[in-house]
């Protein structure tokens, strides 16, 4: 298995070009012309493909500030270029941009007004890229072959110094009814590690319902109903791929939009439904939904000291955060139970004071009776017309009373008469991660793990903030059809409740080309309500390649969870269980097709693995499942629960195939590359399309295309029209399927890389989606 470690810097596209050899004209210049070229040409969005004239010239970072007003986006790039050489050099920039972009600003070192820039149309930009590829024998630029490009004038870079260059451009964004989409082009290559700090401010006349990025995890801050600030989340600026962002305007309560990807193999394609809530609070005449919150707190002997202190403070903050008129209860447990009240009480000044006194008196001692504590919490009499929530906290395994894992799971599945949502917290490394995950996922809740050294109070507060103001409870999204079902394989099968500022993302397959109709139903702010949506699918495009990949990730997560249930109580999974074979086969098939690897199927990334030998691959994956799934305590249990959560709820790209290993280190697979809507596997000096990887030994390319040839230029143009030009931007030879035929694109050079076959940790703070 080949895995990668992020680099702090990257030498990017820096090439020596003969003066006047590349550029012919701008889109606004009718007469072909040439001008002298700089020594170096830098494309900040592209991965490294060589340094000819000025070694040590690097792009240190890029700050992108985007201002979106309605459909008009102004993008300002501050690009920091470092000259590590011993003499002054000159450079100019090529910046891929969307069609129709207009340059608004160019300056360097605070100097402006004396330089000029021009926008080249896609055909001219592609001609330039092809000449560079022919000269440098590297196709990195070709993933931008379908885009226009900004070309700047020459600017100097002093030796040993960094030069900031600012380029600003304006573009009109595409709109689909109430959804507006923005794209900032960047390389999809896993070798690209230049940090991009992206901040976006979006304003509209109407309130903005929700914001979504299918490419990167984001932090969102709402300043007003129609003003939102977005930035790439901490740890994610080095994640590769174009930065994609969509915002959805508010419309009559819950609003939704659909993104579609065509696929004849499923009779239609794949869809993603994005839904958002109103930006404003409930109207005065709308009572809304109040919460009933039960805190179930472990006070066993192992909680002694700092942990119990943090739990007390977390509980006090949770109760303080409840609104007047909402209800709460507290249950503490060790080998015995103690309840604040026989049933939840309405919060007021007196009950809050009493609760604080109750918490101050809690002392840690004894064992851990999880079964009795959950039974008490789930069966207590409910408070009418409130959403019942349980915050359940433990730092260990059940040691007293009924300790059967299956019996504890059944409490939520079979003995939860009031449908309480369980949000579990595992404190430390001695918890049964898979049990806590199942308790929560089966009840529309979520499991959170507080690892050694982390603060319980902080983790509880983070989850509790997300439970503010229930807006839509018991939601259900159903397909409306007059005939046979047109929608299938919907992920998730059951939607979670939606709280203030929340959104929902539902993925699935569809059949046919007629518009899809959906009905969303549930308790909307205290009243039963339905919302009907009709979405055309004639705009389905392979540019939405993230849709089937996200669907596949969730599907794999669901299948992995099914295997975990076969090992239900930590016992060994039967070797001859036919269900096991079926589940493993499907996980391997989907993982191979979409380039999605897990801790169990990382064998697919190993150099030299024989994809033709399906039996050997399945047997190794089978052994991994059987060897790891039974783990029911320690970090090896927590990592499986976390990986399962991440897959089942994935909302944005995970191009590097990152996951948590058995020691809770974040690791990344390097030699499987997701490009456009395709996946490729490194096989020596060759990248092989996943659609033919299992026939690699026997397949004969229908033709071979050499880099820089006329046939190559034609091929680039063809792939650009299909939104797949990035498929031949990989370094080395590429075997891919074009119009049903296997085509080998040859670089003519050996550029195979020596990569480690062992897992390597990546930055632990890099977030998922």
The pLDDT score that the predictor gives to residue 573 is 65
Q: What is the pLDDT of residue 175?
A: 96
pLDDT at residue 44, as a whole number: 87
Residue 444 pairs with which residues in a beta bridge?
none
Dihedrals φ, ψ of 179, to 5°? -110, 135
CA angle 465, 468, 473 (to 5 degrees): 130
Half-sphere exposure at residue 260, Cβ-oriented, CA atoms within 13 angstroms: 24
Helix (H, G, I), strand (E, B) or coil at 414: helix
Tens digit of pLDDT for each residue in 91-150?
888 888 988 899 988 888 755 444 667 888 878 777 776 776 666 656 667 778 778 888
Q: Dump pLDDT digits (tens) for 484-530.
A: 889 999 999 999 999 999 999 999 999 999 999 999 999 999 999 99
Residues of the chain with pLDDT under 70: 1-39, 48-54, 110-116, 129, 132-140, 237, 281-287, 567-575, 748-768
Which residues neighbour 150 within 8 Å (Cβ) at sequence distance 6 or greater?
A: 93, 94, 95, 97, 101, 103, 117, 118, 119, 120, 167, 169
8 A C-beta contact, residue 57 and residue 85: yes
3-state SS, one letter per residue, for 571-612? CCCCCCCHHHHHHHHHHHHHHHHHCCCCCCCHHHHCCCCCCC
Where are the alpha helices (H) located in 108-216, listed in sequence order? 122-136
Q: What is the pLDDT of residues 653-710, one digit of tens each?
A: 999 999 999 999 999 888 899 999 999 999 888 999 999 998 888 889 999 998 878 8
Give me the residue label for tokens 């070797």: 575
**Please, is 5 exposed, middle or buried when counting C-beta atoms within 10 Å of its C-beta (0-12, 13-18, 19+)?**
middle
Candidates 590, 600, 570; CA nearest to 438 is 570
Q: Treating both helix axes as pointing N-terminal to C-terminal, what angle do 306-321 and 456-465 enclose, rounded to 10 degrees?
A: 20
DSSP code per residue over 24-87 = ---TT--S----PPPSEEE-TTSPP--BSS-TTEEEEEEEEEEEEETTEEEEEEEEEEEE-SSS
Could you tell me the CA-to-CA distances from 629 to 438, 450, 458, 570, 597 in Å, in that order?
14, 21, 30, 7, 16
Helices (H), 430-536: 433-441, 456-465
- pTM (2 d.p.): 0.90
- What is the CB-side half-sphere exposure of residue 568 using CA atoms within 13 A? 9
Question: In angstroms, rounded to a whole number, what is the distance separating the alpha carbons of residues 235 and 769?
Answer: 12
Per 3-state DSSP, what percentage of the chain is helix, strand, and coil (rounded to 5)?
A: 25, 35, 45
Predicted local distance difference test score (pLDDT) of residue 218: 95
> Distance of CA 738 to CAs 127, 142, 724, 729, Å?
21, 16, 10, 15
Q: How far is CA 231 from the centre of its chain?
A: 14
| pLDDT of the residue at 608 | 77
CA-nearest of 280, 172, 170 to 226 is 280
pLDDT of 111? 53
Angstrom distance (rounded) from CA 734 to CA 688: 6
């Amino acid at each position: 298995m080949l895995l990668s470690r992020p680099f702090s810097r990257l030498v990017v596209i820096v090439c020596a070009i003969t003066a006047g050899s590349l550029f012919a004209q701008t889109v606004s210049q009718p007469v072909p012309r040439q001008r002298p070229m700089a020594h170096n040409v830098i494309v900040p969005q592209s991965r490294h493909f060589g340094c000819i004239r000025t070694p040590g010239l690097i792009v240190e970072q890029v700050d992108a500030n985007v201002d979106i007003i309605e459909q008009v986006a102004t993008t300002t790039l501050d690009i920091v270029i470092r000259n590590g050489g011993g003499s002054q050099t000159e450079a100019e920039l090529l910046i891929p941009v969307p069609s129709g972009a207009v340059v608004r600003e160019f300056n360097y070192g605070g100097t402006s007004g004396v330089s000029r820039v021009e926008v080249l149309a896609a055909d001219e930009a592609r001609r330039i890229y092809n000449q560079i590829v022919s000269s440098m024998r590297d196709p990195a630029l070709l993933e931008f072959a379908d885009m226009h490009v900004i070309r700047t004038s020459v600017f100097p870079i002093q030796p040993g110094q960094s030069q900031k260059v600012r380029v600003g451009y304006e573009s009109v964004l595409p709109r689909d009814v109430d959804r507006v989409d923005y794209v900032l082009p960047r390389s999809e290559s896993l070798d690209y590690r230049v940090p991009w700090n992206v901040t976006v401010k979006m304003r509209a006349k109407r309130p903005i319902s929700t914001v979504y990025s299918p490419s990167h995890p984001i932090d969102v801050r709402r300043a007003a109903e129609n003003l939102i600030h977005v930035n790439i989340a901490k740890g994610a600026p080095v994640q590769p791929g174009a930065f994609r962002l969509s915002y959805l305007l508010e419309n009559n309560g819950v609003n939704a939009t659909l993104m579609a990807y065509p696929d004849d193999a499923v009779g239609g394609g794949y869809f993603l439904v994005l839904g958002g809530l109103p930006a404003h609070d409930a109207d005065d005449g709308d009572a809304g939904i109040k919460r009933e919150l039960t805190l179930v707190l472990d006070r066993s002997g192992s909680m002694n000291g700092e942990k119990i202190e943090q739990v007390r403070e977390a509980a006090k903050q949770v109760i303080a955060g409840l609104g007047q008129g909402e209800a709460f209860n507290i249950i503490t447990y060790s080998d015995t139970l103690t309840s604040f009240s026989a049933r939840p009480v309405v919060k007021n000044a007196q009950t809050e004071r009493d609760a604080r006194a109750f918490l101050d008196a809690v002392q840690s001692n004894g064992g851990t009776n999880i079964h009795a504590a959950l039974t008490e919490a789930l069966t207590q009499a409910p408070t009418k017309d409130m959403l019942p929530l349980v915050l359940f906290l433990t730092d260990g395994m059940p040691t007293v009373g009924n300790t059967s894992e299956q019996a504890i799971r059944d409490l939520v599945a079979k003995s939860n008469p009031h449908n309480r949502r369980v949000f579990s917290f595992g404190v430390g490394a001695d918890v049964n991660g898979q049990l806590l995950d199942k308790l929560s996922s089966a009840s529309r809740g979520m499991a959170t793990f507080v690892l050694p050294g982390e603060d319980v109070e902080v983790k509880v507060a983070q989850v509790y903030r997300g439970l503010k103001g229930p807006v839509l409870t018991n939601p259900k999204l159903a397909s409306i059809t007059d005939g046979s079902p047109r929608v299938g394989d919907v992920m998730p099968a059951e939607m979670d409740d939606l709280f203030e500022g929340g959104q929902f993302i539902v993925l699935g397959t569809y059949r046919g080309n007629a518009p899809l109709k959906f009905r969303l139903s549930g308790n909307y702010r205290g009243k039963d309500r339905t919302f009907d949506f009709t979405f055309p699918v004639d705009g389905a495009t392979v540019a939405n390649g993230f849709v089937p990949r996200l669907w596949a990730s969730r599907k794999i997560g669901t299948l992995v969870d099914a295997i975990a249930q076969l090992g239900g109580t930590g016992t060994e999974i039967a070797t001859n269980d036919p269900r096991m074979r079926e589940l493993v086969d499907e996980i391997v098939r989907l993982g191979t097709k979409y380039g999605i690897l897990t801790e169990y199927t990382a064998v697919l990334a190993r150099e030299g693995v024989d994809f033709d030998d399906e039996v050997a691959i399945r047997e190794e994956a089978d052994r991994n499942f059987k060897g790891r799934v039974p783990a029911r305590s320690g970090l090896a249990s927590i990592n499986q629960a976390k990986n399962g959560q991440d897959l089942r709820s994935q909302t944005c790209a995970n191009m590097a195939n990152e996951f948590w290993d058995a020691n809770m280190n974040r690791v990344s697979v390097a030699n499987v590359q997701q490009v456009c809507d395709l996946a490729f596997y490194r096989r020596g000096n060759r990248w092989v399309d996943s659609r033919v990887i299992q026939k690699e030994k026997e397949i004969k390319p229908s033709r071979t295309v050499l880099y820089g040839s006329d046939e190559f230029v034609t091929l680039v143009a063809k792939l650009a029209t299909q939104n797949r030009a990035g498929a031949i931007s990989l370094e080395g030879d590429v075997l891919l399927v074009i119009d049903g035929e296997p085509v080998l694109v040859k670089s003519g050079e050996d550029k195979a890389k020596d990569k480690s076959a062992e897992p390597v940790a990546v930055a632990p703070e890099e977030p998922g989606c």
